[in-house]
A = this chain, B = another copy of it.
Amino acid sequence: MNACARCEVRDTAICRSLDEREVDELNRFGRQKCLRRGEVLQWEGDESLLIGNVIEGVVKLSASTRQGKDQTLGVAYAGDFIGRPFGARADQTVTALSDARVCVFRRADFDAFARRHPELEHDLLQRTLGELDNARAWMLLLGQMDAGERVASFLVQIARRQSGGAPRQPDGAVVLDLPFGRQDIADLLGLTIETVSRQITALRRAGLIDTPRLRTIVIRDLDALSACADGE
């Protein structure tokens, strides 16, 4: 029995579109890799292209300007796909935000395999379309929103993300345990760390959120926060 059968993301990652035998074949040229928080899986500009799935933990994609200013382009959670199939060069840096485990393939191997499996390509298409939607939604945030709206939007989005297994407190508050530090949030929102900090302080003073510990944020009034996100 192969390792994939026991994989945590067997039914959520792209592998879900493959049957046992196909997964077996794909697995032959894939391997798992563990990352410590902050470790880089792939650098922007690298020649060696990796394709993969996040099995556990959180990973970010980022790019930077020539002066070293970073912009986070996306965040991948367990089950999410990372990498750029059918591409020539890596144009994003992939960094672990938490300790993480990923399943990686060499791009060439993966590409060839994908071309032989339309169901996998279809799943890939769906995921890519979703990523494009996310990226474009973020463009609206980066291009048109002020700092207050950006931070509120960010928190609302994270809250929505985990609304499935939401650890809600009796009074309806939502507890967020972020894999992000302040600098990560700043890179994501196109702001500086100081501006993020000030906005979070403002939200706390307004009673909309609490910050019991670093990296933990409690949303006390999600509706009011959503209103902030919409600029009201």
Interface of A toward B, CB cutoff 8 Å:
61, 63-67, 69-71, 73-74, 84-87, 91-92, 115, 118, 121-122, 124-126, 128-129, 131-133, 135-140, 142-145, 189-190, 230-232
Residues of B contacting A69 in the complex (Cβ-Cβ under 8 angstroms): 144
For this complex, 22 residue pairs linking A to B, each with C-beta atoms less than 8 Å apart, are A63-B136, A63-B139, A64-B140, A65-B230, A66-B232, A69-B144, A71-B139, A71-B144, A73-B140, A84-B133, A86-B126, A87-B129, A87-B133, A121-B122, A128-B128, A128-B132, A135-B139, A139-B139, A142-B142, A142-B143, A142-B190, A143-B189
Minimum CB–CB distance from A79 to chain B (whole Å) comes to: 18
Contact partner of A139 (CB less than 8 A), chosen from B66, B115, B133, B138, is B138
Total copies of this chain within the assembly: 2
Residues of B contacting A230 in the complex (Cβ-Cβ under 8 angstroms): 65-66
Q: Bound complex: CA of A144 vs CA of B63, how far in Å? A: 10
Residues of B contacting A74 in the complex (Cβ-Cβ under 8 angstroms): 136
Q: Bound complex: CA of A4 vs CA of B189, how far in Å? A: 45
- CB-CB nearest in chain B for A231: B67
Minimum CB–CB distance from A38 to chain B (whole Å) comes to: 21
Contacts A71-B144, A87-B133 given; 4 further ones with Cβ under 8 A?
A65-B140, A73-B139, A138-B139, A143-B189
Of the listed residues A87, A190, A230, the one surrounded by the most CB atoms of chain B closer than 10 A to its CB is: A190
